[in-house]
A and B are shown apart, each in its own frame.
Chain A
């Protein structure tokens, strides 16, 4: 079963002058074709302004296509009667965790989405527990949201999506405001959700280090898909990545350069362990 189907997607933004007249159009997404299957962990990679956030917003009808279609589980985002259903299927966490938390107390924030879906309070209670448990933040249930750390806030916002039982989760640069340890912890949890609960994860990022979590990497540049492959394949194409404004992560870069110097490596080693294999 196909989860997400994007066909010839084009998104134009109007550029307005001071009198609110359209002076020109900026093409943010330029002819994207992409299909993502249930249970995949896809990383969408691109530099600033490559159109990745716009693509994410297209997925749950926050941005509508100028041309082409976005179809989620058979529902077209252009169909306004389906908008709520689409948003039930796709949950989204945004970049700045401060700006997406609605309530002052963790459990109330997690309940927000469920309240919108008119779920009764006993079910909500149970689901809040489950969601917090699966992200390992059960002790934060009654905490004040403004006093949490960046990583914890981001987990709370993901818990809010989990509680809505979304089968697809889009994470729009969730780690950009979090320190390195928090980032690893968050992504480990997300990976676990993907593996254990078969939740489709779409991770939007500009940190190439994060591609090691994904099954598949889609590189976006100037609104077009320039690469679509597994992480191990992607890192073999150093010059193409650099054209898209992305530099290789440290270890694959080292491996690639050793290979350039005539060493017998594959050039797509991701971990120190793999490099050690070569040194033996």
Chain B
């Protein structure tokens, strides 16, 4: 049930994208997301598509694997498309009784769909090509400047990586508790939404208790290995920029500038 979440899973492969510094990939994802939301016309979308397709090709992860993250988005996507198509006022294209479809509605729905799909694919590429630990390393170093404002970046990064490490353990635990409760007559699938939510209480309480116990044990284990938040720590694999990383930054710069330029192209045809 919980095991088929692909979002946030690393796909091992030897590619240019995989070998990039995680900071570059984080910035690239950010730039891409921003570019999606400042895109106003078709040229910008074409640019974004070219960017995304080249990333997909370069990362060598099978396409079916990349889009499998879209499954969880399907309902959200449908809802937003349906609402936008039917509820946007404007020039009527198609009327069916009380429901009318407008030209503006179709355009907004299409934009919304493209943005959402691109957004998920873009961030999937980041998580598919970067191990969680590299990602937290990247965040730690990339946000290191926040230290000046007394933000404990290193501690937050460590917390994140520990949280990621405990996800499979807690999933296993949920499975175990569910089986134990089911064997004593609990039913997690029956009833309406409220009943279903109620039936989760006997699952969540033991899960929290065990999570706290694990946290306590882990704190002991970390302390006994000389962990202390006050001392500086070194890294097994310190992050350093290579040539390819600088080139990527340059490409990103060109990309975002081009996106901005497209905002000033005035066209009257299909104003996307």
A112 touches B165 (CB 8 A): no
Contact B233 A116 (CB under 8 A): yes
Q: Given A57-B220, A99-B218, answer yes or no on A116-B228 (Cβ-Cβ < 8 Å).
A: yes
Within the assembled complex, what's the spacing in Å between the Cα atoms of A275 and B195? Answer: 64
**Chain A positions 176 through 201: 1 when the CB is less than 8 Å from some CB of chain B, otherwise 0:** 00000000000000000000000000
Contacts of A160 in B (CB 8 A): 225
Cβ–Cβ contact B224 & A102, under 8 A: no
Is B34 interfacial (CB-CB < 8 Å)?
no
Q: Is B265 located at the chain interface by the 8 A CB criterion?
A: no
* Contact (Cβ within 8 A) A117 B226: yes
**B221 contact set on A, CB distance < 8 A:** 92, 94, 99-100, 102, 157
Contact B237 A116 (CB under 8 A): no
CB of B223 closer than 8 Å to a CB of A: yes
Q: How far is the CB of B230 from chain A (nearest CB, A)?
A: 10
A18 to B232, CA, bound (A): 39
Given A101-B165, A146-B169, the answer on whether A115 and B234 have CB atoms closer than 8 Å is yes
A84-B228, A116-B225, A146-B169 are known contacts; what are 19 more A-B pairs with Cβ within 8 Å? A57-B220, A60-B224, A87-B225, A88-B226, A96-B214, A96-B217, A98-B169, A102-B161, A102-B162, A102-B221, A103-B161, A104-B131, A111-B236, A112-B225, A115-B235, A116-B228, A125-B236, A146-B165, A160-B225
A118 & B235 in contact (Cβ 8 Å cutoff)? no
- The DSSP consensus for interface residues of chain A is helix
Contacts of B237 in A (CB 8 A): 121
**In the bound complex, do residue B225 and residue A124 qualify as a contact, i.e. CB atoms below 8 Å apart?**
no
Residues of chain B within 8 A (CB-CB) of A157 are 221
- Cβ–Cβ contact B224 & A91, under 8 A: yes
Q: A54 CA to B227 CA in the complex, in Å?
A: 20
Tell me which residues across on chain A come within 8 A of B168, comparing CB atoms. Answer: 146
Q: Does A55 contact B (CB under 8 A)?
A: no
Residues of B within 8 A of A114 (CB): 234, 236
Q: Is A131 among interface residues, defined by CB-CB distance under 8 A?
A: no
Give the top 10 A-B pairs by smallest Cβ distance, nearest first: A100-B221, A99-B217, A113-B225, A111-B236, A116-B226, A146-B168, A92-B224, A115-B233, A104-B165, A99-B214
Please indicate the chain B residues that have their CB under 8 angstroms from the CB of A94 in the complex: 217, 220-221
B226 contacts A62, C-beta separation under 8 Å: no
CB under 8 Å from chain A, chain B span 228-270: 228, 231-238
Interface band, chain B: 20 to 34
The secondary-structure label for the interface of chain B is helix
Give the complex CA separation of A248 and B98 in angstroms.
86
Q: Kindly state whether residue A105 has any CB partner on chain B within 8 Å.
A: yes
**Distance (whole angstroms) from the CB of A22 to the closest CB of chain B:** 20
Q: How many residues of A contact B (CB 8 A)?
A: 41
CB distance from A262 to the nearest CB of B (A): 50
Cβ A161 vs Cβ B225 within 8 A: yes
Structural contact, B220 and A121, CB atoms closer than 8 A: no
Chain A contact residues, CB within 8 Å of chain B: 57, 60, 62, 84, 87-88, 90-92, 94, 96, 98-105, 107-108, 111-121, 124-125, 128, 145-146, 157, 160-161, 164
How many angstroms between the C-alpha atoms of A119 and B232 in the bound complex?
A: 11
Residues of A within 8 A of B226 (CB): 84, 87-88, 113, 116-117, 164
A99 to B219, CA, bound (A): 9
- Between A and B, 19 residue pairs with Cβ closer than 8 Å are A84-B226, A88-B226, A100-B217, A100-B221, A102-B222, A102-B225, A104-B132, A104-B161, A107-B236, A112-B227, A115-B235, A116-B231, A116-B233, A118-B233, A120-B234, A121-B238, A124-B236, A146-B165, A146-B168
A120 to B236, CA, bound (A): 8
Name the distance in Å between B134's Cβ and chain A's nearest Cβ.
10
B122, chain A: closest CB distance, angstroms: 24
The minimal Cβ–Cβ distance linking A275 to chain B, given in whole angstroms, is 41
Decide yes or no whether B133 CB sits under 8 A from chain A.
yes
Given the contacts A108-B236, A121-B237, A121-B238, A116 and B227 also touching, CB distance less than 8 Å: yes
Q: A252 to B165, alpha carbons, bound, how many Å?
A: 44
**Most chain-A CB neighbours within 10 Å: which of B132, B214, B221?**
B221
The distance from the CB of A83 to the nearest CB of chain B, in whole angstroms, is 9
**Cα distance A104–B10 in the bound complex, in angstroms:** 12
**Cβ of B164 < 8 Å from any Cβ of A?**
yes
Asked if B165 and A164 make an inter-chain contact with CB atoms under 8 angstroms apart, the answer reads: no
Residues of B within 8 A of A92 (CB): 221, 224
- From B226, which residue of chain A is reached at the shortest CB distance? A116
